[in-house]
Every structure is written in structure tokens, then in C-alpha cells.
A = this chain, B = another copy of it.
Amino acid sequence: MIDVTLLGTGGMMPLPGRHLTALLVRHQGHSLLIDCGEGTQVAIRRYGWSMHSIDAILFTHVHGDHVAGISGLLSSMQTEGRLEPVHIYGPQAIEEVVANLCVVVGVQFDVFFHAVDQPFRVNDLEVTPFPVMHTIACYGYRIDLSRRPKFLPEKARELGVPMTSWSRLQAGESVRVGLHLVKPQDVSGPSRRGISLVYATDTRPCKALEEAAWDVDLLVTEGIYADHEKDQGAVDKMHMTAWEAAELAARAGAHQTWLTHYSPSFRNPRDYVDEMARVNPTVTFSDDGRRTTLQFEE
């Protein structure tokens, strides 16, 4: 299972009662954080999470509202006595930008930078970056937790595998039985659906996002405006309105979609709840601190 907490719902600037958009994704005691704007460290504390468990920080792009909190976060990690390394992922520019932002920060743990040109793993999670359409290089991230096929004890017995070797097969190893090699797939049921989520803000609707969000359990994406008078503003600034997100989510067949990254001028997403329920009931406006646990299907 994966715990997901939306640390904030704001875009452009933090407001009283509205932190900047960032997502904390937690699996088996380890976390990854996506984006870190001014005040994200406060939101992490507010919603009861620990900075200590964050192994990786993924940045979508280097606009200030998504990166300016990194110096405070790393500084607080240092104050908390961190020794473990932090891995930072993002567009090519991320290393230089973070180095600049952290001019006032001295940390004693290692910070490793990775430009996101291909899928990578953070512990058990498989992360696939994909480019979206914004004013500068910007990525969305799909996160997958795969699920092993069911182990079939009757098959193992049939093939003569002693019970003491079952755990090796379950862990993905092959086991020799007499002259025969028994492979994990020989004693496994059909493949099973894992858990998947996608995070992408700061983009026009685009094919890459639609494809990444195909059939995902959770899509966390942008609904910068809901007022149709601002439609052209979203186009001009290369953002996505709540209604564009709802259409994209429908095409992608995302199981549920959380809207976030509201413009400071978009004060009351609740005003549009009924309308959204008619347009696409799987899409909902989020509040800061929204949280869920994604679980493997029964």
C-alpha cells in the first residue's frame, strides 16, 4: 500500500491557509516528496509526517513556487541530525538552481542530483518521468508499485519443490529440484494489477500526461482555474483548468483525480463541486492535507 498526502493546493504563491502544491508519497516507512515550495517543510510537520523518512525529492520544474523551499527543508533535515543521503531528481537545471538556493545552507549529509531522462526506482517504487507542456522544461511523474503474481502452493507441490524452498521462489529466485530448474513463473498465478499514481501540475493538457494517467488509481493534477472567464489565461500561461483536467482524466480513465495548484485568484473551489460532479464525478477539488491510502485490489 502507498500513503499519499497532498501537502498543499496553492500555485504561484503560498497563502494563509493554503500551502503550495507538493505531494508526499510514503511506502513502507520511506517517503518521496514531489516539489518543495516555500513552506512545504511546515506542511510536512503540520500533517504529521517526518522529514527524516524522505529519501528522494522529485522536482517537476524550477519555477520558484515549486523549488524555493528546498533550502529550508535541507537545513531542517540537518538540524534534525540527518546522516542519510538525499537524492534529488528533476530537469537538467535542477542541480544549479538548488545549489544557488542553498547558498545559505550547510549540510553534512550527501545530496545527489539526477537529471530525469529515464525511469528510476526509489526503494520499491518505480518512477517514470514524462515531459509536459509548460513555459519551461517541466515533468510529470508516474509512480508504480508492482504486485507479484500469487504463489500457487499446489503447483509447487506438483513440481516436487520442498516447502523449505518456497520462500526463495516467492522472492523471485529459481530453485533446482533434481535435474529440473523450477522458475518463479512456474508456480505463479496470472499477473496482478499494482498501484499507480500520477502527479503533474503546470501543464497544458497533453498526450504525454493522458498516456501516463491511463487507468491509474490516482491522478493528482492541476485545476488552476474553474471560472470560464479565465480559460484564455490558462492557455496563455500554459496551465490547465479544472474542466480541461476533467476531460483529460475521463479520456485517460483515471480511477480518481485530485485537483490542486489553484491560482491565488481561485479562492473557492467549493463553489464548483456540484458542477464537477455532473462533468466527471471521479474528479474532485482538493483541500490542503488531503490524504489517502492506495491499496492492492482484493
Of the stretches A12-20, A167-175, A194-202, A249-257, the one at the interface is: A12-20
If A16-B46, A101-B103 touch, whether A68 touches B62 (CB-CB below 8 Å) is no
Q: Are B64 and A71 in contact (CB under 8 A)?
A: yes
Main secondary structure of the interface of A (DSSP, over half): helix
- Of A38, A39, A45, A264, chain B has the most CB atoms within 10 Å of the CB of A38
If A39-B42, A71-B68 touch, whether A62 touches B104 (CB-CB below 8 Å) is yes
Q: For A27, what are the chain B residues with a Cβ–Cβ distance below 8 Å?
A: none
CB distance from A55 to the nearest CB of B (A): 20
Q: For A15, what are the chain B residues with a Cβ–Cβ distance below 8 Å?
A: 42, 45
Of the stretches A72-80, A216-224, A225-233, A279-287, the one at the interface is: A72-80
Smallest CB-CB separation from A96: which chain B residue?
A: B103
Q: How far is the CA of A38 from the CA of B67 in the complex (A)?
A: 12
Smallest CB-CB separation from A61: which chain B residue?
A: B104
Q: Are B97 and A67 in contact (CB under 8 A)?
A: no
CB distance from A109 to the nearest CB of B (A): 16
Number of copies: 2
CB distance from A107 to the nearest CB of B (A): 11
Total interface residues in chain A, CB < 8 Å: 31
If A39-B38, A41-B38 touch, whether A14 touches B72 (CB-CB below 8 Å) is yes
Q: For A79, what are the chain B residues with a Cβ–Cβ distance below 8 Å?
A: 12-13, 264
Q: Does A100 contact B (CB under 8 A)?
A: yes
Q: For A67, what are the chain B residues with a Cβ–Cβ distance below 8 Å?
A: 104
Q: Which of B14, B63, B264 contacts A104 (CB 8 A)?
A: B63
**Contacts A14-B39, A14-B41, A101-B101 known; 13 new A-B pairs at CB < 8 A:** A13-B72, A13-B79, A16-B45, A16-B46, A38-B42, A63-B104, A64-B105, A65-B75, A68-B72, A68-B101, A100-B100, A100-B103, A101-B103
